[in-house]
């Protein structure tokens, strides 16, 4: 059932993984649709809000297993509380998309429709059941699971066509491409890791993580932002 349009989705907190097996991809968001689920067998159960994202023209950047399909669909559970899967994604949305673009919309995420964007399954601070050293859930005195905020992965936006984040300037990927254009990667890691001016650029922490795993430059080559010639020199595309 499609959620009535009068519902106001919040992008700031007040209190099986989507897209499996993908871990990072780029694609065009064809549609984003709010959906409500209710347990018909339990009249007292509350409705659960989710948001479904349908992508076309998908380019796989990282995946747990081969994914040859040009489309991808995933659903994120909605919540207006902090430290949730939704708010991890919403935080990345607010970092990239100017508030003036969405603050008056009942469904802010609609501004993403039709745009090429990159998503990644990245570390976040989420409220989850606490576990012991054996991976077993820790119980409280009442026998119920104890919960706490801890490190876990969640889907987040890395870049969106037409937006460059709150800084109003280039994304980290734009700067990286410019840095590598006409040179090899000698000194690149030191620049990325130590240049303090880069830390405020949208996507910096994600780029650092990818470079630490030696995935950053191959990702930029695979996605068509860079080429590398026989001498090992990189060139900006376009």
pLDDT of 158-186, one tens digit each?
889 888 644 344 567 888 998 999 999 98
Q: Strand (E) positions, 4-143? A: 22-37, 48-63, 72-77, 116-129
Q: Which residues contact 49 (CB under 8 A, 6 or more apart)?
A: 3, 7, 34, 35, 36, 77, 78, 79
d(CA 178, CA 188): 11
Domains of the chain: 1-38+45-122+152-158 (no CATH), 164-238 (1.10.10)
Q: Which residues pair with 154 in a beta bridge?
A: 122
How far apart CA 50 and CA 68 sit, in angstroms, is 26
Q: Mean pLDDT over residues 90-103, rounded?
A: 88
pLDDT at 55: 97
For β-strands 22-37 and 48-63, DSSP reports them as: antiparallel
pLDDT at 5: 53
More confident residue, 140 or 83: 83
Residues 127, 20, 171: CA angle, nearest 5 degrees: 75
Percentage of the chain surpassing pLDDT 90?
A: 34
CA atoms of 43 and 133, how far apart (whole Å): 39
- pLDDT one-digit tens code per residue, 118-153: 998 887 778 767 776 777 777 777 777 777 777 788
Other CB atoms within 10 A of residue 161 CB = 13
- 3-class SS at 15? coil
């Amino acid at each position: 059932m499609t959620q009535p349009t009068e519902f106001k989705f919040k992008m700031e907190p007040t209190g099986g993984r989507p897209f499996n097996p993908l871990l990072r991809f780029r694609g065009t968001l064809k549609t984003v649709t709010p959906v409500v689920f209710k347990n018909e067998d339990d009249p007292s159960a509350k409705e659960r809000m989710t948001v479904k994202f349908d992508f076309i023209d998908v380019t796989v950047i990282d995946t747990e297993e081969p994914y040859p399909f040009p489309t991808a669909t995933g659903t994120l559970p909605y919540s207006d509380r902090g430290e949730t899967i939704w708010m991890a994604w919403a935080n990345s949305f607010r970092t990239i998309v100017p508030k003036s673009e969405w603050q008056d919309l009942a469904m802010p995420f609609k501004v993403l429709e039709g745009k090429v964007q990159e998503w990644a399954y990245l570390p976040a601070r989420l409220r989850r059941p606490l576990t012991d050293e054996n991976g077993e859930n820790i119980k409280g005195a009442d026998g119920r699971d104890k919960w706490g905020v801890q490190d876990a992965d969640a889907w987040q936006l890395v870049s969106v066509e037409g937006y460059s984040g709150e800084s109003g300037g280039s994304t980290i990927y734009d700067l990286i491409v410019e840095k590598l254009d006409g040179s090899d990667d000698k000194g690149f890691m030191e620049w990325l890791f130590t240049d303090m001016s880069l830390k405020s650029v949208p996507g910096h922490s994600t780029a650092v993580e990818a470079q630490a795993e030696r995935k950053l430059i191959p990702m930029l080559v695979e996605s068509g932002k860079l080429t590398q010639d026989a001498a090992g020199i990189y060139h900006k595309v376009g």
